[in-house]
Every structure is written in structure tokens, then in C-alpha cells.
Structure 1
Amino acid sequence: MPLSEATEPRTAVGALTGSLKTLLIRGLLAGLIAGLLAATVGYFVGEPKIDAAIAIEEAAGGGHTHGEAAEPAAAGAPAEEEEAEVSRPGQKAGQFLALGLAGMAFGALFACAANVARRHTTLSGPRLALGLAAGGWLAIVAVPFFKYPANPPAVGDPETINDRTWLWVAVVLLGFAAVGLAVYAYRLLNGQLDTVRLIGATAVFVLVTAIGYILLPGIDEVKADFPPSLLWQFRVASLAETATLWAALGLAFAALTEFAARGVREPAAVAA
């Protein structure tokens, strides 16, 4: 058997092949799947915690129903107009649309990152997809979460929302810097034992993250009377939802990559 015939299937399986357009379509589909799975986790795991937090917020605000206007202060006094709010059932159903679209957006960015990364690595397509998903989760979810964890309704001062938003952006940039420098350290140690390279990359990641955590200000707006167990459960649910998104994105992209490689390999085998 000629050498080209023997190595062609291996190349098809090992490489992340296809044009950028192909990768984008693959990323959009994987992102849609990931977003819907994350929304399912959010619906069954996160929404009950949000309902409980809203009940606490309403009780503290005088028992008004969430999303309804307050009663007039005196007979004949005009009620203050409030902007129409989406009902809780609408919010619960709407997260499938929102996370589906968000997943597709992440999938498109994921495909662009894979298109660049495949030129600088020998990892197979599935392994590259899983590695990118792990890096994305670390940068966008893990590093921000452990500095500024998610808070449920009734937690946080509305007047500080802009400051908290910019701090979240800063910690996401920190996450990208930590992951990027860790990958650079891993590549810099090329030729060393794999364990040495992993230890070096991990040390760089931890060091950069720790420095960033020290420099960024802390935020603690949790009220003293807010139930600690509910706060912990909400944050775990939030982490589970985002972890599902990134794990499903990486696995779906990897699976679609293998399916595509198998489709290329089978015609080659028939031709041989």
C-alpha cells in the first residue's frame, strides 16, 4: 500500500480541516446545541433559586408582586407609571432564546479561534476543540467567577451596576491574559517533559490570576440577612449553567469535527 494511502485517513482524522466558512457553520450549530442545553440546566436548576430570591426581595419591599405597580399612597392619588416588565414565565421561556443566540455567538467566536489555533498546534481537531473550550471556560467563567461571583436578585446596589460591569470586563481580560500566558509558557517549554510543561503553565496561570485578584478591588454587597444557603445554591447553579455551555460547546464541536473527518475518510477508503 502506498504511503499516501496509509496516512491519508490518519491525516483526515487528526487535522481540523475545512474552510473558515465550514468551521463557522460547525461552531454555530455546536453553539446552538450548547446554548439550549445550558438553558435547560438554568430552567430546572437556576430558576427555582431566582424565584426564592425574588420572594425575599418582594418581602423586603413591602410584599408587592414582582413586576406590578405599587398601590397609590392615598385615595385619588395617581399611580406612578412603570415600564412593563416581562413576566416570570416569559423570562423562564425566554432564556432558551437568549442562551441559544448567545451560544451561537460563542460558537462563531470559537470557530474563529479554532481557525487560528489549528495553524499553531499539532493537536487533533477534537482535542483542539476540547482544549479551546477549557481555555474559554477558564478565561470567561472561572477566573471572573471566583473574583466576582454571580448574585441573585435582592443582592447588589443598583447604583454600583456600572462599576461592577466594568470590573467584570476587567476580570474577563485578566482571564484571557492568564490563559494566554499559560499557553505561551507551555509552548516555551517545548522539549521538556510533559509534566514539567504542565506545571510551568499552571504556575503562570495561577500567578497571573493571583496578581490580578490582588490589584482588582473586592465587591461585597450581600446583605447580612440574605440566606447564605440560597446564595451558595444560586452561585453553584450559575456555575453549572455556564459550565454546561462551554462543555457542550467543546464536545459538540469535537463531535461534528469527527463526523466531518469520517465523511472525508470513507470516500477515500472506497476509492482505494
Structure 2
Amino acid sequence: MSPRAFLVRGLLAGLLAGVVTFLVAYSVGEPQVGAAIALEEAGGDGHSHSHAAEGAGGAEGEEETAEVSRTNQSTWGLLTGTLAIGVALGGILGLVAAATLGRLGRLTPGQSTALVTLIGFVAVALVPFLKYPATPPAVGSGDTIGTRTAVYFAFQALSVVAAVVTTYAAVRLRGRFGTYLAVVGGVAAYLVVMVVAGELFTTVNEVGDFPADTLWFFRRASLITLATMWGVLGVALTGLVIRLYAAERAVAERKALAASL
């Protein structure tokens, strides 16, 4: 089972995940984005996420022109984004699954791939989302977007490093303390690190008087979309790896039988 085989299957799984995520994001997420944009425009803050800024001349009273229509943003633009993220994420996940094969105890390739996907979802998506949840277009100041982006990726990077280190420690301690205690200890160590980090990292609160129900529905839709991407990717990649493993075992058994005759 070569890294190339894992990579190809990761790309295929990512392609499928991108399509399914688009369907979920379009049906669940886009209505919430539209509601947030409507509130932003109604607030009269002078800009809209579906329009371009005024021309270089900046003439007063010049009407803004749409670079990309809202319809294209919510259809082809959204599809392009989910496909790109799905394929990239699938390729990375496939290579990580290949690199960890045989290094997570006595797990089969399918079980190992599923575990890698679960750890990836928690470390890359879920925990950073809990600290810095998604915000709709009408929330947040443009002056702080750089700072907000930096702290989010720093927290995400710390989460990934903590997950890798605690998983490695759990695997190393498995022989001494057993699987149960090693897993519980690894999970507990990760939680302690991230809870402390969550308290130390700066808090971003620029919601203002944005309606709480709209914010809740937007963030719920964002989490559903994230879970869909990772869920479909994990199920598809695990299934493909299981089929690959079964096929290679069948070939190996036939060769062994032929050699024994």
C-alpha cells in the first residue's frame, strides 16, 4: 500500500466530499449568509460583500458595480471553493494516513485511516471552531481581520501539534499501561493543553448588537458544513482504503498459494 495509492484515493474522496459539502452548504449555510448580508446592508455601513469597492477615481455618488454577483458567489463560487478545499484536504489526509500506517498499534489500514480522520477533524476543525467560531459577513471590523486571522491559525497550529504529540505519547505508553489507559491519558493531555491555551489566547468579541438568533443559525450551519466535509471525506477514504487492503491481501494470498504448490 504505497503513499501514491493513498494520495489518489484521498483526492477522489476529497472530490466527493467537496460535492456533498457544496450541497449542504448551499441548502443550510447560504440562507444564513444571505440573512447576515441583508442585515449588513440594512445597517447602512456602506459596503456589501456581494459588491466591489468604488473605482479608483472614488468619485462621490458613483454607483457601485458588482464584480461577482451574489448568485454566482452562492453557486459556482461556493462549488469551486468546496471542491478545492475537499481535494486539497483529501490529498493531505491520504498522505498522513499513509505515513501513520502501522504506527498506531495493531489497527488495520481502514481503522488507522478512520482514526486519523477523527483526530484531524477534532484538531483542525472542531476545537479551533469552539474557540474562534465562524462569524457572518456583517460581524467584525475590517481593521482587525489580520489579527483575527493570525490568532485563529496560531490556535489551530497549536491544536494540531498537541494532537500529534499526545497521540504519539499514547502509542508509546500503550505497551506499558495498556490501550485503555494510554488512550484516556492522551485524550486528557490534549484537552488540558487546549483548555489552557483557550484561556491564554485572546478572545475575539466583535458581535456588537448583531441578532443572537441569526448568529446562532449561521454558526450552526458552519459547523454542520465542516462536519459534512470531514465526515464524507473520512467515510469515503476509509472505504477506499479498506477495498485497497482487501485487494492487496487477496493478491498476496494467491501468490503465496502459487508459491506453495
TM-score range, shorter chain: 0.7 to 0.9
| Matching residue of 1:120 | 103
State how many pairs are aligned: 249
Residue 80 (structure 1) shift? 3.6
**Alpha-carbon distance, 1:208 to partner:** 0.6
Inter-partner Cα distance in structure 1 for 2:62 and 2:153: 35
Aligned residue number for residue 70 of structure 2: 88
Matched, 1:23 2:6: yes
Report the 3-state secondary structure (helix = DSSP H, G, I; strand = E; otherwise coil) of the residue aligned with 1:151.
Answer: coil
Pairwise mapping of residues 243-254 of structure 1 onto structure 2 (< 5 A)? Answer: 243-254=227-238
Q: Is contact 2:37–2:48 with CA below 8 Å preserved after alignment?
A: no
8 A contact 2:3–2:99 mirrored in 1: no
- The letter for the 2-side match of 1:112 is L
Q: Is 2:128–2:159's contact at 8 Å kept on the other side of the alignment? A: yes
User: Is the counterpart of residue 232 in structure 1 residue 216 in structure 2?
Assistant: yes
- Give, in angstroms, the shift of residue 189 of structure 1: 2.2
Alignment partners' CA distance in 1, 2:62 and 2:238: 53
Question: Any gaps of 5 or more consecutive residues in structure 2?
Answer: none
2:55 is the alignment partner of 1:53: no
**What CA distance in whole angstroms lies between the structure 2 residues aligned with 1:183 and 1:84?**
48
Counterparts in 2 of 1:108 and 1:64: CA distance versus 1, 3 Å? closer
1:217 pairs with 2:199: no
Q: 1:129 touches 1:251 (CA, 8 Å); kept in 2?
A: no
Q: Distance between the aligned counterparts of 1:66 and 1:185, measured in 2? A: 45
Distance 1:248 1:65 in 2: 33
Which whole-Å CA distance do the structure 2 matches of 1:238 and 1:128 have between them? 27
Query: Aligned AA for 2:167?
Result: V
Matches within 5 A, 1:194-205: 194-205=179-190
Q: Post-superposition shift, 1:68? A: 5.2
> Residue 71 of structure 2 aligns to a residue in which SS?
helix
Deviations 1:6-28 (A, max 9, x none): xxxxxxxxxxx2x2221111110
Counterpart position of 2:137 = 153
**Using the alignment, how far apart are the partners of 2:142 and 2:179 within structure 1?**
48
Mean alpha-carbon deviation: is it higher for 162-171 or for 62-71? 62-71
SS for the counterpart of 1:167 is helix
Mapped partners of 2:49, 2:103: distance in 1:
52
| SS of corresponding position for 1:189 | helix
Q: Aligned partners of 1:60 and 1:175: how far apart in 2? A: 37
Please state how far the C-alpha of 1:201 moved relative to its aligned partner: 1.1
The residue aligned with 1:168 is 152
| Partner residue, 2:22 | 39
CA distances 1:125-168 after superposition (whole Å, capped 9, x unpaired): 11111111111111111121111110011100011000011011
| 1:170-218 superposed Cα distances (whole Å, 9 cap, x missing partner) | 0111211221232133123213233322221121011110121122110
Q: What do you get for the CA RMSD once the two structures are aligned? A: 2.4
Deviations 1:97-117 (A, max 9, x none): 211111111111112211211
- 1:61 to 1:120, Cα distance in 2 relative to 1, 3 A: same
Aligned residue type for 2:68:
V
Q: Which residue of 90, 97, 100 corresponds with 2:83?
A: 100
Distance 1:175 1:66, change over 3 A: closer
Take 2:65 and 2:120, find their aligned partners in 1: how far apart are those partners?
36
In structure 1, C-alpha distance between the alignment counterparts of 2:222 and 2:15, rounded to whole Å: 19
User: Displacement of 1:258 after TM fit?
Assistant: 1.7
Partner SS state of residue 174, structure 2: coil
Gaps of 5+ in 1: 1-16, 72-76
**TM-score (normalised: structure 1):** 0.83
Output the CA distance in 2 between the equivalents of 1:171 and 1:131. 22
Shift of 1:265: 4.2
